[in-house]
Amino acid sequence: MTKILVTGATGNIGRMTLNHLLNRVPADDIVGLAREPAKAADLTAKGIEIRQGDYLDYDGLVRAFEGIEKVMLVSATAFTDRNTQHENVINAAREAHVQHIVFMPIIRKAGSDFMLPQVTEEDRFVEEKLKSSGLTYTLVRHPPFLDNVELYVGGSALEAGVHAPAGTGKAGYACREDLAEAHAVVLTEAGHENKSYSLYGDPAVSFSDIAWILSDISGRPVPFKTVSDQEYIANLVSAGLPEPAAGFVLTWVHGVNAGEWEGKSGDMEKLLGRKPTTPAEFLRASYASLELETES
């Protein structure tokens, strides 16, 4: 039996990946890593073993990886010491005789000099460490999340319109559930060793496209309004986001407008064996959920 461990078990991507693994292999073959295992009680109830571990506790990681063959390394949070944390996981995995690490860097457009602070360089660091580690690896590169579109467009787009700095670039957003399912496929199938996948969603959409989709979903006009960078940040801050976080979101929006994630590889569809969730499908489901919450 192959034991598979997923780090970040109590986070969005980690928890979703573990749940998708349950659809493919017995629970006895699945392990989650969490700083606070008590927060993963729902996973424990499904038969998944949860081990305590922290990216900054090297010895604890070595113990947690005992008997594990494959590790899904869920990226550490931006604006923490990501290099130390990720390097600890790689080195501990090697010491514990793990065979294969799957990692989720951001997609980088070929030839682009676009840089996401605390993301781009740190992802490159991990890739270099993995390739020189002697471990088998797979890179499952992520585009921006569909789940974050509501934040990118101002948080209350149905009422106030889509607000974003001017630009016509598009992004092949993917939803976390589809990405997590793709992770589960890579973790449970052979043939993905030392490969890299770019998990674009389809179709790619611009911010004006999102306004059109929301108009169609809601049955009323949702305008696209261009704003300055300063206005964009001010809008997010007024909605409750701290200014440094708002500036970080703005950098993602600049990347979308520059077409940084406008590619189309087909990797997601090949791994899933189906079309990925479209922006219209995702936003329609999100809008329906909001309607139900309002009615209740």
Q: Which secondary-structure segment (H or E) carries 72? A: strand 70-73
Tell whether 148 is covered by a domain. yes
Give pLDDT, residue 289: 62
Q: Could you tell me the CA-to-CA distances from 131 to 101, 193, 254 in Å, in that order? A: 11, 12, 30
Q: Please say if the pLDDT value at position 33 is more than 60.
A: yes
Range of the domain at 237: 144-173+200-263+277-296
* Digit-coded pLDDT (tens) for 143-156: 999 999 999 998 77
Q: Are 269 and 182 in contact (CB under 8 A)?
A: no
Tell whether 269 is covered by a domain. no
Domain containing 42 — which CATH number? 3.40.50.720
Q: Which two tokens stand for residue 239?
A: 């909605």
* Digit-coded pLDDT (tens) for 213-263: 999 999 999 999 999 999 999 999 998 999 999 999 999 999 999 999 999
Give pLDDT, residue 11: 96
Q: Are residues 151 and 122 in the same domain?
A: no
Give pLDDT, residue 99: 98
In sequence order, what are the residues at sequence separation of 6 or more whose Cβ sits closer than 8 angstroms to the Cβ of residue 3? 29, 30, 31, 67, 68, 69, 70
Q: Are residues 79 and 17 in the same domain?
A: yes
Q: Which secondary-structure segment (H or E) carries 228? A: none
Mean of the pLDDT values across residues 186-190?
97
Q: Please say if the pLDDT value at position 295 is more than 60.
A: no
Give pLDDT, residue 125: 97
Q: Are strands 100-103 and 30-34 parallel, antiparallel or unpaired?
A: unpaired
Return mean pLDDT, the chain: 94
Give pLDDT, residue 287: 77
162 three-class SS: strand
Domain containing 157 — which CATH number? 3.90.25.10
Residue, of 237 and 293, whose pLDDT is higher: 237
Number of other residues whose CB lies within 10 A of the CB of residue 25: 16
Residue, of 158 and 27, whose pLDDT is higher: 27
Q: Are residues 108 and 160 in the same domain?
A: no
* Digit-coded pLDDT (tens) for 47-106: 999 999 999 999 999 999 999 999 999 999 988 999 999 999 999 999 999 999 999 999
